[in-house]
């Protein structure tokens, strides 16, 4: 009897031991196998050979895949090869800026944050108030690092309300109008550097869409954020909200006019097709869409894959509008997270490299974003920009860059999502544009407790 | 007349199969297109120009073989664990009368009913408190007790005649030996079938590994293929190439072992 | 003394321990959090009573989400089960190609959601997507499947049915196999026609299979998540925001642990209630429990 008990217990214990053993062995082998079997790993290990044992390893999180991811990888590889104190491992998270924010939140809970990460300018407030970051101004002041060469408007994107540098600009974009020149030629529309007004764009779109049954006239890229809405709203003299007065303002008359502008094009002119941004980019490439208002960041992809004559136009203002054009900057800055002194120093060293004129010029050329360095634009990229007038276009409107609107506190994601949801609802015809904005405003007020 | 009906039936079925398989054919077609023009020519599933660019790009840009091995390792260990624990629990439920049996079995069924997302956050916090985030332990151990395996194996065990067990007891086998000699031996095909189904499910599990694993080098294939998405721009050709590559092993396993999927394991679940 | 009562507990212990840690504890933990305002990032906790529940129940979105979930279930479950039965019957009569059909119909089931989600987002694309292109052949105009609040959930339901019905086909086939001889014999005696014997014999005799099929399919569609996350992110305008996604979004996107847990608890209670009813019912009708 006793023997039997003993045997049973042993069996179960043995089984469980096997299981637990498996789990651990597995996890360990995952760790060990990593560097040896992968391309990225082999690079790291070959670098390791000539690096002293002291080399600090840090992680850099970004969101870019495909061609753009390759550019990031190249920059990181160059950094790793350029010195032997720090090894940077670049990692892409899924789901773009929103996905990154989700990941960073869970990583913050499990205390596994990377040393460096990009952060969308739309999330600046969140990153600096909710995330354990080490603000850039600490490094800048400590080292007496000169930020003179960074483009002034771009530097501002990483500053908080008190003008303190929280992040350094890394990738900056403005919206551009990508144009299918073949379509323009056939329709007899003159190609200009900048349309006179948004009203003119609407007229063109209607004309262009009428040419073929399945053709779209224009698409404003608006999937995961309300960037375009802010652009059109602020250029019309409106604003999202006044944080100081706790007042939501996007649903005043200006905002409603902007949304009506879109809705009229969708419903009356039938010149804006119903699709998402990715599909719009594809439709544009295959010649099913004549104009695409989208980020500079798409330039590399669009010019690589378009089989027609691609043109670029700058953003216009509104007819008879006196307010200057305002272009909220898209893109992302670099943030350093709190950690040991050693890691932070390594992270700072990498940030300096990643935003150096050389890196910035490399990334701008390969990804399509703007360089953040004056010297890169004036010297390193001078020839490139001369040969690629399309890439140069975005800099012509750089003086109009303004910061992306940030909702205060931790409700930014929800507020943005709420506004976007309602705008999309009006696109589907579930409600009028006026209703959509009023409802969104009421809900956001509730979320913010205004 | 009969022949004509038969023919019609087969035509209907073949057409249906075609419709069911369209997404795969489409995936394959796009993956084999030149990345400069993936859509125009293939719109009706007939690629006019072939190119392996997509596959080359995938292999150049991503440690696909590495992710594949991660998936194999993780899935195998998890499946083996689920079977082991499932056999033990199913044996207890099928062959013993004990206080709380019904309640406990009901409880096991309940674990199947709740959407995993409902308790994902607290489970994540538990895993985190064990310091298992970003390790395979964190992916495997929370899922190693599988209600499905327990359920199906219990059904099967209950169908094994009690006389066999009695006989083995007379032969002097104790319960673990009985489990081994009578139950396991009789249920090899069932175990295989359940194992395959679990393998496929575990292989395909998307959200949990995505949440737990942070290192790119630890990712599983299923999670990693979503990586070719980009800034409002999806590179469809390499994405579909990666998708094809990630699907092939599972379909391969399935086709080779489909007999076990279809006949042994499922049947026992619905006696 | 032949059966030692501790043995089953011993065999069950690993499973029970795991469930205790990764199911029961999280459940109560979630219950606890649902009464808290808990800022995970700054690790500040505060008891707030029922206010999270008030917030969730007071949100129009929550009710919309429930509606979406029910709509999704109503769209997928009957269709998936019916297709399963129809094709099982067809395949069983198909002769030589039977085993080939069985393999091919099951293939969608073994494909990962992430792949299915990606492929279908491409297929539903308004201008380059295969589906619009095919509909165009029949003169149906372009539809923005995933961008239209009226259509998106139907698109997701199509994917849901596609992914699940093959499993039901196999379940019905194995059920039919067991019945086959009995039914044939009985039908031969009665001289009943094919349809009659199906209606009066086969269909009712498949009751346990129906039950299993409906249970599993209901469960799956109640838990739909990954396709939503990959294809629509709950949009446009929350028209595809379903239960599991809502909870996930509250928890991981908005990081509002309190409301996420409150929503999860409400879901728990409802599902538990349904489960009790269903298991009771099954206990009466079948021998599984």
DSSP letters for A95-152:
SHHHHHHHHHHHHHHTT---SEEEEEGGGHHHHHHHS-EE-HHHHHHHHT---TTB-H
In this prediction the ipTM stands at 0.84
Closest residue in C to B256 (Cα–Cα) = C103
Spans of all domains in chain A: 42-173+330-399, 175-328+407-448
Give one DSSP letter per residue of chain B, joined into a string.
-HHHHHHHHHHHHHHHHHHHHHHHHHHHHHHTS-TTSSSGGGTTS--SS---HHHHHHHHHS-HHHHHHHHHHHHHHHHHHHHHHHHHHHHHHHH---TTHHHHHHHHHHHHHS-GGGGHHHHHHHHHHTT-TTSHHHHHGGG-S-HHHHHHHHHHHHHS-HHHHHHHHHTT--HHHHIIIIIIHHTHHHHHHHHHHHHHHHHH--HHHHHH---GGG--HHHHGGGG--TT---HHHHHHHHHHHHHHHHHHHHHHHHIIIIIIHHHHT-
| Closest in C95, C271, C288 to B114, CB measured | C271
Looking at residue B216, its pLDDT comes to 81
Residue A400, both tokens: 């109009």
Mutation site for A-interface testing, chosen from B231, B236, B237, B243 by largest number of A Cβ within 10 Å: B231
What is A42-173+330-399's CATH number? 3.40.190.10
Tokens standing for C154? 């139907």
Q: Output the tens digit of pLDDT for each of chain A's 450 residues.
A: 344 444 444 444 444 433 333 333 333 333 333 333 334 434 444 444 444 567 999 999 999 877 788 899 999 999 999 999 999 999 888 888 888 998 999 999 888 899 999 999 999 999 998 899 999 999 999 999 999 999 999 999 999 888 999 999 999 999 999 999 999 999 999 999 999 999 999 999 999 999 888 889 999 987 778 899 999 999 999 999 998 899 999 999 999 999 999 999 999 999 999 888 888 888 898 888 999 999 888 888 888 777 799 999 999 999 988 888 999 999 999 999 999 999 999 999 999 999 999 999 999 999 889 999 999 999 999 999 999 988 999 999 998 999 999 998 888 889 999 999 999 999 999 999 999 999 999 999 998 988
Alpha-carbon torsion angle C165, C169, C172, C173, nearest 10: -170
Give me the residue from C8, C90, C248 closest to B13, CB to CB: C90
Task: Assign residue A95 a region (left: φ > 0; alpha: ψ between -120 and 50; beta: otherwise).
Answer: left
Q: CA separation (Å) from B149 to A272, A327, B141, C289?
A: 52, 57, 15, 15
pLDDT score for B127 = 94
Minimal Cβ distance to C225: which of B102, B115, B142: B115
Can A42-173+330-399 and A175-328+407-448 be said to share one CATH topology? yes
- Predicted confidence band of residue B114 (pLDDT cuts 50, 70, 90): confident
How many of the other CB atoms lie within 10 Å of CB of C6? 12
Residues within 8 A of B (CB atoms), C 11-70 only: 11-12, 14-16, 18-19, 21-23, 25-27, 29-30, 33
**Which pLDDT belongs to residue A11?**
43
Instruction: Say what the pLDDT of residue A138 is.
Output: 96
Minimal Cα–Cα distance from A330 to chain B, Å?
11
| pLDDT tens, residue by residue, B217-256 | 888 888 877 766 554 567 788 888 888 988 888 888 888 8
pLDDT (tens digit per residue) in B123-179: 999 999 999 999 999 999 999 999 989 988 888 888 777 777 777 766 766 777 777
- pLDDT at residue B263 is higher than 50: yes
For residue A23, list chain B residues with Cβ-Cβ distance below 8 A.
Answer: 77, 81, 136-137, 140-141
Q: C15 vs B26: CB contact, 8 Å cut-off?
A: no
**Quick one: pLDDT at residue C191?**
65
User: C: neighbours with 3+ CB pairs under 8 Å?
Assistant: A, B
Residues 6 or more apart whose CB falls under 8 angstroms from that of C13 comprise: A12
pLDDT at C35: 95
Paired sense of beta strands A310-313 and A86-92, if any = unpaired
CATH fourth-level superfamily of A175-328+407-448: Periplasmic binding protein-like II (3.40.190.10)
Q: Which residues of A touch C150 (CB under 8 A)?
A: 428
Structure tokens at A208: 């262009």
List CB contacts (< 8 A) between B256 and chain C.
none
Residues of chain C whose pLDDT is less than 70? 1-5, 180-193, 282-289
**Domains defined along chain C, listed by start:** 56-288 (1.10.3720.10)
Residue of chain B whose Cα is closest to the Cα of A71 = B61
Task: Return the pLDDT at A332.
Answer: 94
DSSP tag of A359: H
Amino acid A83: pLDDT? 94
Q: Per residue in A244-287, pLDDT tens?
A: 899 999 999 999 999 999 999 999 999 999 888 888 888 898 88
């Amino acid at each position: 009897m006793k023997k039997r008990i003993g045997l049973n217990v042993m069996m179960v214990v043995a089984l469980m031991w096997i299981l637990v053993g498996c789990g651990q062995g597995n996890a360990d082998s995952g760790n060990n196998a990593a560097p040896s079997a992968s391309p990225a790993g082999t690079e790291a290990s070959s670098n390791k050979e000539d690096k002293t044992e002291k080399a600090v390893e840090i992680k850099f999180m970004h969101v870019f895949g495909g061609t753009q991811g390759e550019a990031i990888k190249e920059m990181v590889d160059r950094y790793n090869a350029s010195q032997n104190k720090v090894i940077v491992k670049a990692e892409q998270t899924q789901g773009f800026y929103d996905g990154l924010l989700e990941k960073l939140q869970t990583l913050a809970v499990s205390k596994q944050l990377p040393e460096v990460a990009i952060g969308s300018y739309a999330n600046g407030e969140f990153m600096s108030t909710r995330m354990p970051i080490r603000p850039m101004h600490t490094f800048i002041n400590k080292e007496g690092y000169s930020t003179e060469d960074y483009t002034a408007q771009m530097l501002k994107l990483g500053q908080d309300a008190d003008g303190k540098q929280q992040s350094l600009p890394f990738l900056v974009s403005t919206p551009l109008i990508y144009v299918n020149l073949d379509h323009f030629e056939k329709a007899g529309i003159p190609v200009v550097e900048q349309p006179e007004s948004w009203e003119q764009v609407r007229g063109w779109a209607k004309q262009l869409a009428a040419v073929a049954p399945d053709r779209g006239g224009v698409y404003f890229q608006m999937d995961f954020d309300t960037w375009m809405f802010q652009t059109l709203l602020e250029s019309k003299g409106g604003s999202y909200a006044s944080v100081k007065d706790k007042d939501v303002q996007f649903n005043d008359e200006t905002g409603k006019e902007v949304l009506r502008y879109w809705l009229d094009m969708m419903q009356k002119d039938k010149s804006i097709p119903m699709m998402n941004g990715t599909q719009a980019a594809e439709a544009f490439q295959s010649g099913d869409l004549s104009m695409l208002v989208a980020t500079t960041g798409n330039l590399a992809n669009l010019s690589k894959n378009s089989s027609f004559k691609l043109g670029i136009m700058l953003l216009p203002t509104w007819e008879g509008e006196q307010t200057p054009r305002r272009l909220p900057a898209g893109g992302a800055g670099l943030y350093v997270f709190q950690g040991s002194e050693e890691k932070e120093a390594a992270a700072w060293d990498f940030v300096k490299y990643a935003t150096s004129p050389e890196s910035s010029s490399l990334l701008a050329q390969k990804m399509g974003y703007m360089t953040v360095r004056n010297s890169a634009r004036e010297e390193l990229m001078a020839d490139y920009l001369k040969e690629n007038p399309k890439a140069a276009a975005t800099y012509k409107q750089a003086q109009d860059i303004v910061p992306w609107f940030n909702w205060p506190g931790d409700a930014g994601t929800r507020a943005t999502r709420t506004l976007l949801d309602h705008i999309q609802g009006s696109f589907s015809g579930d409600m009028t544009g006026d209703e959509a904005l009023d409802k969104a405003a009421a809900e956001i007020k509730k979320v913010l407790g205004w | 007349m009969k022949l004509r009906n038969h023919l019609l039936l087969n035509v209907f079925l073949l057409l249906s199969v075609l419709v069911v398989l369209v997404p795969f054919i489409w995936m394959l077609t796009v993956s084999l297109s030149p990345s400069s023009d993936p859509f125009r020519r293939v719109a009706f599933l007939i690629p006019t120009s072939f190119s392996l660019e997509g596959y080359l790009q995938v292999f150049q840009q991503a440690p696909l073989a590495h992710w594949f091995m991660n998936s194999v390792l993780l899935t195998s260990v998890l499946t083996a664990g689920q079977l082991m624990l499932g056999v033990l629990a199913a044996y207890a439920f099928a062959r013993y009368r004990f206080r709380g049996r019904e309640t406990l079995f009901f409880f096991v069924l309940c674990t199947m009913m709740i959407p995993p997302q409902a308790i994902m956050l607290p489970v994540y916090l538990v895993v985190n408190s064990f310091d298992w985030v970003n390790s395979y332990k964190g992916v495997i151990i929370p899922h190693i007790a599988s209600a499905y395996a327990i359920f199906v194996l219990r059904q099967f065990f209950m169908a094994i005649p009690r006389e066999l067990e009695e006989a083995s007891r007379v032969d002097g086998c104790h319960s673990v030996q009985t489990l081994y000699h009578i139950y396991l031996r009789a249920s090899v095909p069932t175990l295989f079938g359940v194992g395959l189904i679990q393998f496929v499910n575990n292989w395909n599990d998307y959200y949990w590994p995505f949440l737990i694993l942070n290192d790119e080098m630890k990712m599983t294939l299923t999670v990693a293929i979503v990586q070719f998405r980009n800034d409002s721009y999806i590179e469809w050709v390499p994405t579909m190439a990666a998708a094809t590559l990630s699907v092939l092993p599972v379909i391969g396993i399935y086709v080779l072992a489909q007999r076990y999927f279809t006949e042994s394991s499922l049947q026992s679940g619905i006696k | 003394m032949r059966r030692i009562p501790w043995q089953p507990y011993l065999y069950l212990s690993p499973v029970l321990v795991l469930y205790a840690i990764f199911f029961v504890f999280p459940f109560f933990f979630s219950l606890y959090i649902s009464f808290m305002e808990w800022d995970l990032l700054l690790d500040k906790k505060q008891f707030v009573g029922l206010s999270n529940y008030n917030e969730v129940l007071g949100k129009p979105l929550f009710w919309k989400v429930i509606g979406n979930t029910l709509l999704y279930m109503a769209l997928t479950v009957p269709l998936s089960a019916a297709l399963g039965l129809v094709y099982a019957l067809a395949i069983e009569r198909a002769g030589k190609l039977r085993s080939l059909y069985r393999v091919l119909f099951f293939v969608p089931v073994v494909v990962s959601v992430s792949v299915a989600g990606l492929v279908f987002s491409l297929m539903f694309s308004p201008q380059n997507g295969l589906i619009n292109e095919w509909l165009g052949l029949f003169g149906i105009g372009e539809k923005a499947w995933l961008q239209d609040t009226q259509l998106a959930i139907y698109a997701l339901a199509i994917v849901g049915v596609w992914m699940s019905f093959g499993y039901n086909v196999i379940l019905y086939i194995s059920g039919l196999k067991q019945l086959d001889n009995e039914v044939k014999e009985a039908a031969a005696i009665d001289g009943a026609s094919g349809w009659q014997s199906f209606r009066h014999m086969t269909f009712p005799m498949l009751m346990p299979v129906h039950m299993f099929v409906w249970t599993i399919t209901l469960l799956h569609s109640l838990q739909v998540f990954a396709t939503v996350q990959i294809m629509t992110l709950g949009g446009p305008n929350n028209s595809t925001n379903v239960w599991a996604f809502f909870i996930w979004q509250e928890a991981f996107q908005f990081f509002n642990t309190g409301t996420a847990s409150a929503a999860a608890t409400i879901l728990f209670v409802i599902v538990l209630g349904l489960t009790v009813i269903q298991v009771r019912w099954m206990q009466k009708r079948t021998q599984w429990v």
